[in-house]
Amino acid sequence: MGRLQVQLQNQAPMPLAAEFECAAGELIALVGPSGSGKTSLLRAVAGLLRVPQLQGTVQVGDQPWFDSARGICLTPQQRRVGLVFQHYALFPHLTALENVAVACPSSLDIRQDASLRALFERLGLAGLEQRRPAQLSGGQQQRVALARALRRILRPQDGRVEPGGVLLLDEPFSAVDAPTRQTLYRELAALRQQVSTPMVLVTHDLSEARRLADRVVIVDAGATLQSGPPERVFSSPRNARVADLVGIQNHFRGRFRRLPDDRGVLRWEGQDGAGLDLQVIDKHRLDDGVAVTWVLAGEHVDVLLPAAAAPADDTQNRLLCTLVEVLALGETSLCTLVPEGLASEKLTLNLSTAQLRRLGSDVGGKLLVQIPRQGIHIMPQRTGG
Amino acid sequence: MDYQAARVSLLLAAATALLLLPPGLWLARWLALSAWRGKPLVEALLMLPLLLPPTVIGFYLLLAFGQGSALGAWLASALNLRLVFSFEGLLLASLLVNLPFMVQPIQRSFAALPHSLREAAWVSGLSVWQTFWRIELPLAWPGLLAGVALTVAHTLGEFGVVLMVGGSIPGETRTLSVAIYDRVQAFDLGGAHGMALALVVFSLLALALVFAADRRQAAARTLQER
């Protein structure tokens, strides 16, 4: 069973500096804004990216698919790739069954082929075999495209299904409506139990990546910036650019100062020159006095009423803030708070509506925002990888 | 009705369409897919017969094929082939002037195929050749049909080049359109009428076929864009 290992570089016209791997049975998500090169990386794995100067390797198991140093470049036909295209790319003149059967010609009559029938049943397409793509709904078209891709990697041999290759999904859920998307998410999660090849999903949707992927790889301008389990990448981005890309709202500027005993002070600097000191942990990755970007991990933050608060210990930061805006979103409310003495900065917190009601606080009221030291994540200000 | 002329016309149209289809298909597909920098020049050359007066084309063909030219002399001595005032010469001229009518619609239908379909076929394991036969051709056939229909209709209607290169030899180079001209010159308006009407009806049918084919292709396109 093959692990996918990709390591690619390219100069102009399309700069690439990418490195990622995907174990057998693992699902990774390449995440980045449109035009970031994530689809190009997927196409490079499939052998569809034709760039003369492309350098690096693409390897599946012990089989090199691409190796610029050794002059190896397999054609898309020679690579065992199941690829679901963004707009499915179903063949409009063929029936659903024929569309899927194209991916693995067998000597059997396709109507008698038990493995094809099983695939249709597994994806909830039974009964739709003779429909043309135009006669299928968006969700059904997506499933036919998925069936075609699976057919390529679940190659039947002597009646046995022996998987291999890689499954690539290029924004597969972007063209269907929201309810269908939820169904398809669940189906993909169920399908993962049965597919043991590496799976690479390309998406610009962060919540989709978070929900589906074992690991996310953040891609920007053709470069892979950071990879790891979603919760880690989303809570501790490596630098300010990653923080931007993963949509962290609370990121601010400041200056880091070292104290003894692994402690540090973060001077939170506002735009008007004012500042606030925050207690932080010194992870010995930053020099004394360096300018930093820092983010607030929302799950660590608590909100208290100023009058009711017990005295804080020195592992906690407490900021007296004014609640300036509340946006009710149902179960949660998006609150904007301005810290006392730092009028140019705004904290955005997603509080539960029930908690807000319990506090009895309203716009204009005062709240204590409690931030433990580990809730502050500090990164160098440079945006480079 | 000059049935001999009708036979020459139909033979010429059929031969032109059949001989032009394979190279026209190849050229059209290449033009549709190529990103080569010299492509606009090739396309301009291809369209030139549409803009030039038929007399200009006929004149140069006469110069090129005539006994006075090296090519004409060689063809006559080596192959015993006379291309001026003969059916063979007429056919060659017809192939040249019909190239844009054959290539244009086919090129458009290949250019309209989403490239992702080709790529989907490749990653599914189909070779370039299998992709052409099983995916591209079945989807581009309305363009092929339009190319053939336009070529046939245009060959039947061609007049200037025919007169310049072929003249009006009954049973050899006198086509329907030349026969109509001869009838009118001889004040036989009734004879001209029948043939003229036949040409109008046939051309109208051919054009209707072209537009019907175009609609089919448009329907295939909308599916892809959904």
Q: Is A152 on the interface with B (CB under 8 A)?
A: yes
CB contact set of A318 (below 8 Å; sequence gap of 6+): A309, A312, A368, A369, A370, A371
Contact B120 A91 (CB under 8 A): yes
Contact B134 A134 (CB under 8 A): no
Is B148's pLDDT higher than 90?
yes
Quote the tokens at residue A253: 């500027």
Q: Is B123 on the interface with A (CB under 8 A)?
A: yes
Instruction: Compute the distance between CA of residue A24 and CA of residue A197 in angstroms, rounded to an integer.
Output: 5
On chain B, the residues whose CB falls within 8 A of the CB of A93 are 138-139, 220
On chain A, the residues whose CB falls within 8 A of the CB of B121 are 91, 102
pLDDT tens, position by position, for chain A (385 residues)? 689 999 999 987 888 999 999 999 899 999 988 888 899 999 999 999 988 889 999 999 888 999 999 999 999 999 989 999 998 999 999 999 999 988 776 666 677 778 888 888 888 888 998 999 999 998 899 999 999 998 888 765 544 455 678 999 999 888 788 888 888 888 888 888 888 899 999 998 888 898 899 999 999 989 999 999 988 888 788 888 888 888 777 888 899 998 888 888 999 988 888 888 998 988 888 888 888 888 887 778 888 888 877 777 778 899 999 999 998 888 888 899 999 988 888 898 888 888 888 888 888 889 999 999 888 888 887 644 3
The phi and psi torsions of A140 (rounded to 5 degrees) equal -70, -40
The beta-carbon neighbor of B125 closest among A48, A87, A152 is: A152
Tokens 């001999």 belong to B4
On chain A, the residues whose CB falls within 8 A of the CB of B226 are 138
Q: A4 with A60: CB under 8 angstroms? A: yes
Which A positions 354-373 lie with beta carbon below 8 A of chain B?
none
The beta-carbon neighbor of A46 closest among B123, B127, B225 is: B123
The beta-carbon neighbor of B126 closest among A92, A102, A134 is: A102
Tell me the nearest-neighbour CA distance from A6 into chain B, angstroms.
18
Tell me the nearest-neighbour CA distance from A85 into chain B, angstroms.
8
Instruction: Compute the distance between CA of residue B185 and CA of residue B179 in angstroms, rounded to an integer.
Output: 10
Q: Is A17 on the interface with B (CB under 8 A)?
A: no
pLDDT at B216: 74
Is B160's pLDDT higher than 80?
yes
The beta-carbon neighbor of B122 closest among A76, A82, A148 is: A76
- Overall pTM surpassing 0.90 (yes/no): no
Q: Is B114 on the interface with A (CB under 8 A)?
A: yes
Contact A89 B134 (CB under 8 A): no
Q: Is B139 on the interface with A (CB under 8 A)?
A: yes
| Residue B28 pLDDT grade (very low, low, confident, very high; cuts 50, 70, 90) | very high
- CA-nearest of A255, A219, A276 to A378 is A255
Contact B122 A77 (CB under 8 A): yes
Q: Is B134 on the interface with A (CB under 8 A)?
A: yes
Instruction: Compute the distance between CA of residue A134 and CA of residue A99 in angstroms, rounded to an integer.
Output: 13
Q: A10 with A51: CB under 8 angstroms? A: yes
CB contact set of B152 (below 8 Å; sequence gap of 6+): B13, B14, B16, B17, B206
Instruction: Compute the distance between CA of residue B162 and CA of residue B182 in angstroms, rounded to an integer.
Output: 13
Question: In this structure, which amino acid lies at residue A13?
Answer: P
